[in-house]
């Protein structure tokens, strides 16, 4: 059997990783400024994380959601405390798309309505409802298109008010900072007004923090830069540092019913061990402070690269924009300088998502490599 060939590949084969570095089978060392697609939060193969998962595996790796699993409560408790979202309840699942799928379903259950407002250039995943609210017709199959979604430009509150006014909207879904779209984001005023409009019309506000959450923006969730309290928050990527886990944080006022949501694998013992280790390390190693410090440094140092037109994003969720397409630059960074970076819908933008443990010295390596290539 061959693989179903859906991914265009760079010809690199990582076999080992540690901290912000990965090594290929020839022992070539790469600086990981892509974090495995924004997934690596506390650093590759963090020793405490490895210990926690290994120990858990020797005890019990998995049982179904029909038994008591105290690790789920421990994870929920720690997540509430560290994120400042103690007045939410946690539903555990396995990926970002699944988190958004459940968030949208919950909004539809709660309101009895089905139309969703999403934003231009949004990416929310590839499952049935998540892909419909993703602004990319190319990845929507006819079966997906039965659902109702309206895409609006970011930061146009009048259009949001107009659409919500029609009375058939279940939820507004928005990324804390757009990832795949290219690092655009709502202004604080926009987030606040959307929140107000949602509250006044019993529409749920869903914040997709799958990529921007877990400390990546310098606050636990990116929306916390804007002083709002969404109804539902979705998370995945950095939550497990590579172990598949997702979460839906649901405001206390929405009550659960048995059978309303469910999953076989979500919240299993191994996933919880990974999730708890990640939270413990974010707290113990003060990774959010590190993100803010490194972001300050990056913001200054990047000014020394004259070809850069604009820097977007916050913390260690960054985009550097040029006035040319960055495809070739990314290849040179990987094959000549041994640095992984990411792309986005904006072909002129280099996306940077290093582990949250990256240091100033790694920023220096990246910026020097950029300068050498762009000379
Ligand atoms: C903002 C956002 N939401 C949802 C997803 C989907 O997550 P997953 O690939 O884990 O299903 C992604 C993935 O890139 C994302 O960036």
Angle between helices 287-301 and 360-374 (to 10 degrees): 30
Query: Residues 9, 329: contact at Cβ < 8 Å?
Result: no
Q: Which residues pair with 29 in a beta bridge?
A: 23
Q: Give the residue whose CA is nearest to atom 7 of ligand 1.
A: 96
Question: Apex CA 280: angle with CA 276 and CA 281, to 5°?
Answer: 120
Name the helix (H) or strand (E) containing 29: strand 29-32
| pLDDT of the residue at 241 | 98
Between strands 204-208 and 232-235, the pairing is parallel
DSSP helix/strand/coil, 135: coil
**How many Cα neighbours within 13 Å face the side chain of 53?**
15
| pLDDT of the residue at 109 | 98
Distance of CA 129 from the midpoint of ligand 1 (Å): 13
Question: Does pLDDT of 66 surpass 90?
Answer: yes
| pLDDT of the residue at 227 | 96
Mean pLDDT of 350-362: 98
Rounded to an integer, what distance in angstroms lies between the CA atom of residue 40 and that of residue 215?
11
What pLDDT band is residue 355 in, cutting at 50, 70 and 90?
very high
Domains, the chain, in order of start with CATH, read 14-46+287-374 (3.90.1150.10), 47-284 (3.40.640.10)
| pLDDT of the residue at 234 | 99
Distance of CA 210 from the midpoint of ligand 1 (Å): 6
Pocket test for ligand 1, best of 93, 124, 238 (most atoms within 8 A of CB): 124
Q: What is the mean pLDDT of the chain?
A: 97
Tally of CB atoms within 10 A around 360: 13
| pLDDT of the residue at 337 | 98
**How many Cα neighbours within 13 Å face the side chain of 27?**
0
Query: In this prediction, what percent of the chain has a pLDDT beyond 70?
Result: 100
> In Å, what is the CA distance from 322 to each residue of 274, 306, 355?
37, 10, 23
Distance of CA 125 from the midpoint of ligand 1 (Å): 5
Rounded to an integer, what distance in angstroms lies between the CA atom of residue 308 and that of residue 360?
19
Query: Residues 349, 326: contact at Cβ < 8 Å?
Result: yes
Rounded to an integer, what distance in angstroms lies between the CA atom of residue 180 and that of residue 342?
9
Distance of CA 98 from the midpoint of ligand 1 (Å): 9
Distance of CA 78 from the midpoint of ligand 1 (Å): 23
**DSSP conformation letters of 245-256:** -EEEEEETTSPP
| pLDDT of the residue at 145 | 86
- The atom of ligand 1 lying closest to the CA of 212 is 1
- The atom of ligand 1 lying closest to the CA of 127 is 11
Question: Does pLDDT of 152 surpass 90?
Answer: yes
- The atom of ligand 1 lying closest to the CA of 179 is 16
Mean pLDDT of 171-182: 98
What pLDDT band is residue 375 in, cutting at 50, 70 and 90?
confident
DSSP helix/strand/coil, 44: strand
Mean pLDDT of 53-61: 98
| pLDDT of the residue at 209 | 98
Residues with C-beta less than 6 Å from any ligand 1 atom? 95-97, 100, 123-125, 175, 179-180, 208, 210-211, 236
- The atom of ligand 1 lying closest to the CA of 175 is 1
User: Which strands make up the sheet holding 232-235, listed edge to edge?
Assistant: 88-93, 246-251, 232-235, 204-208, 169-175, 115-119, 149-152
Distance of CA 97 from the midpoint of ligand 1 (Å): 6
- The atom of ligand 1 lying closest to the CA of 130 is 4
Q: Which residues fall within 8 angstroms of residue 348, CB to CB, at 6 or more apart?
A: 309, 321, 322, 323, 324, 325, 326
Mean pLDDT of 62-87: 98
Question: Does pLDDT of 315 surpass 90?
Answer: yes
pLDDT in tens, 255-304: 999 999 999 999 999 999 999 999 999 999 999 999 999 999 999 999 99
Nearest CA-CA partner of 194 in 221, 172, 165: 172
pLDDT in tens, 88-132: 999 999 999 999 999 999 999 999 999 999 999 999 999 999 999
| pLDDT of the residue at 146 | 87
**Which letter does DSSP use for residue 210 in this model?**
T
Distance of CA 303 from the midpoint of ligand 1 (Å): 30
Pocket test for ligand 1, best of 237, 247, 343 (most atoms within 8 A of CB): 237
> In Å, what is the CA distance from 243 to each residue of 53, 124, 208, 296, 353?
10, 19, 19, 30, 17
> In Å, what is the CA distance from 80 to each residue of 85, 97, 344?
5, 22, 31
Q: Give the residue whose CA is nearest to atom 4 of ligand 1.
A: 124
Distance of CA 375 from the midpoint of ligand 1 (Å): 35
**How many Cα neighbours within 13 Å face the side chain of 172?**
32
**DSSP conformation letters of 90-132:** EEEESSHHHHHHHHHHHHHHHHS--EEEEETT----SSHHHHH
């Amino acid at each position: 059997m061959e693989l179903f060939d859906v991914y265009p590949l760079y010809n690199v084969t990582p076999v080992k990783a540690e901290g912000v570095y990965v090594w290929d089978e020839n022992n070539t060392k790469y600086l990981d400024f892509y974090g495995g697609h924004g997934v690596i939060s506390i650093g590759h193969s963090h020793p405490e994380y490895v210990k926690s998962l290994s120990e858990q595996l020797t005890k019990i790796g998995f049982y179904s959601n029909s038994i008591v699993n105290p690790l789920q409560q421990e994870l929920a408790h720690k997540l509430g405390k560290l994120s400042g979202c103690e007045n939410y309840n946690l539903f555990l699942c396995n990926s970002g798309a699944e988190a958004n799928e459940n968030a949208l379903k919950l909004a539809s259950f709660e309101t009895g309505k089905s139309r969703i407002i999403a934003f231009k250039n949004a990416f929310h995943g590839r499952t049935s409802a998540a892909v419909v609210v993703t602004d990319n017709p190319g990845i929507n199959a006819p079966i997906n298109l039965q659902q109702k979604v309206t895409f609006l430009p970011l930061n146009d509150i009048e259009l949001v008010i107009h659409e919500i006014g029609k009375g058939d909207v279940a939820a507004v879904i928005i990324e804390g900072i757009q990832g795949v779209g290219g690092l655009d984001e709502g202004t604080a005023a926009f987030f606040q007004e959307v929140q107000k409009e949602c509250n006044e019309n019993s529409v749920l506000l869903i914040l997709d923090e799958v990529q921007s959450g877990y400390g990546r923006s310098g606050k636990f969730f990116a929306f916390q830069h804007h002083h709002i309290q969404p109804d539902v928050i979705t998370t995945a990527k950095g939550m497990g540092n590579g172990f598949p886990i997702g979460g839906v944080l649901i405001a206390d006022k929405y009550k659960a019913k048995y059978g309303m949501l469910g999953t076989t694998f979500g919240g299993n013992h191994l996933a919880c061990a990974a999730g708890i280790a990640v939270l413990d390390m974010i707290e113990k190693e003060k990774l959010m402070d590190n993100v803010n410090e490194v972001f300050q440094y990056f913001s200054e140092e990047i000014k020394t690269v004259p070809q850069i037109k604009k820097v977007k994003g916050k913390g260690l969720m960054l985009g550097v924009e040029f006035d040319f397409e960055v495809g070739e630059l990314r290849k040179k960074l990987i094959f000549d300088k041994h640095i992984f970076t990411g792309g986005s819908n904006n072909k002129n933008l280099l996306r940077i998502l290093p582990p949250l443990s990256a240091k100033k010295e790694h920023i220096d390596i990246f910026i020097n490599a950029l300068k050498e290539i762009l000379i």
